[in-house]
Structure 1
Amino acid sequence: MTADTITAADIRINARWVIPIEPANAVLEHQAVLVQGERIAAVVSRDEADARYRAKETIDLPNHVVLPGLINMHGHAAMSLFRGLADDLPLMTWLKDHIWPAEGAFVSEPFIADGTQLAMAEMLRTGTTTFADMYFFPEIVAQLAKDAGMRAQVCFPLLDFPTPWGAGPDEYLAKGEDFIRQWQDDPFIMPAIGPHAPYTVSDEPLTKAVALSRSTGTPIQIHLHETASEVADALEKTGKRPTARMAELGVLGPTTQCVHMTQIDDSDIQLLKDTGAQVIHCPESNLKLASGLSPVKKFREAGINVAIGTDGAASNNDLDLFGELNTASMLAKVVADDATALSAHEALAMATIDGAKALGRAHELGSLQAGKLADIIAVDLGDPFLQPVYDPASHLVYSNHGRQVSHSWINGVPQVQEGRLTRIDVPDLMLRVRGWADRIREQQTS
């Protein structure tokens, strides 16, 4: 062996199992993942790694499965401060009588900062490396994610009425255009347009949002077909299903992310297929608010990309994507009356490569392949309640909890080591969270 046959690497991760996601359904044993700088250099056998690579740091994970970092494609990060505030209520009661009044009382720049950091801590600790956020003060969310070294698609809000972030659609769009311009070329932050829903945004601002999306190449994320009442009200008021109205306005397209999509008929599926729109499935939030059931198998059979999100912690009530995968797979089987409707490997793909496709970044995220960005997680399957291990993919979806995530890297930089966050001061954050909880609790009881 000569020096010119050896390739340098920054990190070598020796794993009991590797699930690369691409190729599909693969489980590799006794592999090494090599990281050089911000990218994956190789995924090879340990023998080949011994022969070809020399790493500055070697991490041995003898009971672990290594896979791409998870992508949480929908949430409202700062709403983590409202976790458990108003449970066991239907969506519109939950929103109108509890969440919107609480937002009016508390949402501010400090609230967004602390709530977002709380959400990022939970997501990082449970395996998420990229998240999509749709909430107020997107500039605060973007800067926090950037500072923490976490990837985020950050949607600026668009509604017909005033909120703490703006007086109405024209102000939202003007501020949003500035926000897009500021972050458009950032490797961590992906700006996006977030019209709340068809029932809260009228035709004119939606048309302007479409024009802005097309001129800047910016994605649109919108709550769509979340409840039966949403569809019934739209038919009564406009004579059109919400998907039909969105298609006519140009909202649906390959860069559009349609969140929830529970009340679906064949015409909706055809519109999504024809326009190339993406579906973001939020199974636990849909169940908790009794919003409905998303026909995941039908979407997938039609060739529609389906990614997955947690929604906010106020309606879930956690941001653990592994739990979401368990629910998604179980629910898909019941809805389709087919135990094969969504396999463990397919569920893992929804939280990795399918999320990357929804972001338009499948060329650099979502699987462990040489040249892709080094967003990597390791899950410890060594605990007794996870034994024996016949199929690590099955364990990740059906037996695992996100707290089994032991290591995480984003861009090759450690975010979680031995179960501990490396870039968020948790004790200091908890002091601020307790302060918010005291204020919110006092307001709720007064």
Structure 2
Amino acid sequence: MPDAPLDLLLLPTWLVPVEPAGVVLREHALGIRDGRIALLAPHAEALRQPAREVRELPGCLLAPGLVNAHGHAAMSLLRGIADDLPLMTWLHEHIWPAEAKWVDEAFVRDGTDLAIAEQLKSGISCFSDMYFYPQVAAERVHAAGMRAQITIPVLDFPIPGALNAAEALRKGLQLFDDLKQHPRIRIAFGPHAPYTVSDDKLEQIRVLADELDAGIHMHVHETAQEVTEALAQRGERPLARLARLGLLGPRFQAVHMTQIDDADLALLVEHNCSVIHCPESNLKLASGFCPVERLWQAGVNVAIGTDGAASNNDLDLLGETRTAALLAKAVAGSATALNAHAALRMATLNGARALGLDTQIGSLEVGKLADLVAFDLSGLAQQPIYDPVSQLIYASGRDCAKHLWVGGKQLLDDGRLTRMDEDELIARASAWGERIAKR
């Protein structure tokens, strides 16, 4: 029996599969059937296949949808509230008091919607969210059609939506059970940081993560101060403590990691952990520099995240990737560190691997889910084009994101959101801004 017609056949100028690494295919097409990639072939061959819709994408580079491996979506509503401050001052004197005052289910709903829209318009098809009221964030991801890892927030003190860690875990386990069959949402554990979560809670999370085969997503070694204080108080570095407690492993997602010595590197390699690099947030808060090239050369999976808009101040993963590539060269003292193709891999397949999704998304391969982005490289600023991936990373901005699909469903069409009303989102965000500014 012949195959059913393709649902959609896309004809870009360039197709960058990411896997195999470094490949750029010219005049190749991609076919989608039932939400998955069903065909990769030269234009002429592909056009012989029956398709319900054929769409030409002249001047466009078709790539896997970007994966934003770390962020705090609802904090979009706190964008710019406390700029130009060091991390602990920013957290203790501004962000945590603001969250205690304002964060409720309505705040998370509107802030997450704003973040989802911004990310879709930036070419991001999947993101990891670490924030309060995770059930509300999951509802917004479901409604928007996006893909996400939603983490259960755990700290040793009361947080919005949970009086203590036990309540946060209880609600999180219910959410895990409710969404275990969801096609686009995964639930993971999100203990905030080593300095805010006690050993007994971390050990409980380890047991639950093992039972549920769930990820653990955590801020680790974000600043030198964090490491210094841990050594003074406990006599061991935070990563070593996490290793002793059994948390490290292929499902462990270590966010930031600006402080890495030889022993830390050995632990990351031994346990096959992923590191989530957030260069712009780290730069803005003067937190330090993650040694990306050193990690990469040691075989550590390094993904990339924007962090929250309150510390970045945008959710522009393409811009983040450019910063990461430039910073990696400076830190390594080598112009060859983290080239453009490797940087794109970090923002796609490496992010998918960190979230445990690399068999489903992150590269353009037959059988994988059709999470795709088309970047328009036909503009003045991208000319002339010798290597389209270099032009994407070094000469393009998120405004070049033209079309985006998640599981074959188009969520961005010619730069316009298909399921969300931008004017309404702006109005809701502005109303929150006015309320917060008055206080």
Match of 1:43 among 40, 43, 48: 40
Mapping for residues 2-151 of structure 1, pairs under 5 Å: 8-51=5-48, 53-151=49-147
Mapping for residues 433-444 of structure 1, pairs under 5 Å: 433-443=429-439
Q: Using the TM superposition, give the Cα deviation of residue 185 of structure 1 relative to its aligned residue in structure 2, in angstroms.
A: 2.2
Q: Using the TM superposition, give the Cα deviation of residue 6 of structure 1 relative to its aligned residue in structure 2, in angstroms.
A: 7.2
Secondary structure, counterpart of 2:194 in structure 1: coil
Match of 1:223 among 191, 195, 219: 219
Q: Using the TM superposition, give the Cα deviation of residue 303 of structure 1 relative to its aligned residue in structure 2, in angstroms.
A: 1.0
Q: Given the two structures, how large is their TM-score scaled by the length of structure 2?
A: 0.99
Q: Using the TM superposition, give the Cα deviation of residue 12 of structure 1 relative to its aligned residue in structure 2, in angstroms.
A: 0.9
Could you tell me how far apart the structure 2 residues matched to 1:263 and 1:35 are?
A: 43
Secondary structure, counterpart of 2:113 in structure 1: helix
Match of 1:186 in 2: 182
Could you tell me how far apart the structure 2 residues matched to 1:96 and 1:286 are?
A: 17
Letter in 2 for 1:87: D
Match of 1:234 in 2: 230
Could you tell me how far apart the structure 2 residues matched to 1:7 and 1:30 are?
A: 24
CA contact (8 A) 1:332 1:341 kept: yes
Q: Deviations over 1:125-152 (max 9, x none)?
A: 0100000000000000011101111000
State the identity %: 51
Match of 1:320 in 2: 316
Q: Deviations over 1:250-269 (max 9, x none)?
A: 11111010000001100000
Could you tell me how far apart the structure 1 residues matched to 2:80 and 2:173 are?
A: 34
Unaligned runs of 5+ in 2: none
Q: Using the TM superposition, give the Cα deviation of residue 5 of structure 1 relative to its aligned residue in structure 2, in angstroms.
A: 6.4
Q: Deviations over 1:248-301 (max 9, x none)?
A: 011111101000000110000001111111100000000000000000111111
Match of 1:296 in 2: 292
Secondary structure, counterpart of 2:260 in structure 1: coil
Could you tell me how far apart the structure 1 residues matched to 2:376 and 2:424 are?
A: 28
Q: Deviations over 1:137-168 (max 9, x none)?
A: 00000111011110000001000000111111
Q: Deviations over 1:181-225 (max 9, x none)?
A: 111221110000000000000101011011110011110000000
Letter in 1 for 2:351: G
Moved over 2 A (4+): 4-7
Mapping for residues 273-312 of structure 1, pairs under 5 Å: 273-312=269-308
Secondary structure, counterpart of 1:280 in structure 2: strand
Could you tell me how far apart the structure 1 residues matched to 2:39 and 2:45 are?
A: 10
Q: Given the two structures, how large is their TM-score scaled by the length of structure 1?
A: 0.97
CA contact (8 A) 1:6 1:54 kept: no
Q: Using the TM superposition, give the Cα deviation of residue 348 of structure 1 relative to its aligned residue in structure 2, in angstroms.
A: 0.4
Letter in 2 for 1:33: L
Secondary structure, counterpart of 1:306 in structure 2: strand
Find out whether 1:366 has 2:366 as its counterpart. Answer: no
Could you tell me how far apart the structure 2 residues matched to 1:341 and 1:189 are?
A: 34
Moved more, 116-125 or 350-359: 350-359
Q: Using the TM superposition, give the Cα deviation of residue 7 of structure 1 relative to its aligned residue in structure 2, in angstroms.
A: 5.5
Unaligned runs of 5+ in 1: none
Match of 1:380 among 368, 376, 381: 376
Could you tell me how far apart the structure 2 residues matched to 1:248 and 1:185 are?
A: 33
Letter in 2 for 1:370: V
Match of 2:343 in 1: 347
Q: Using the TM superposition, give the Cα deviation of residue 177 of structure 1 relative to its aligned residue in structure 2, in angstroms.
A: 1.4
Match of 2:257 among 258, 261, 277: 261
Letter in 1 for 2:26: E
Moved more, 128-137 or 384-393: 384-393
Secondary structure, counterpart of 2:318 in structure 1: helix
Could you tell me how far apart the structure 1 residues matched to 2:105 and 2:285 are?
A: 28
Find out whether 1:396 has 2:392 as its counterpart. Answer: yes
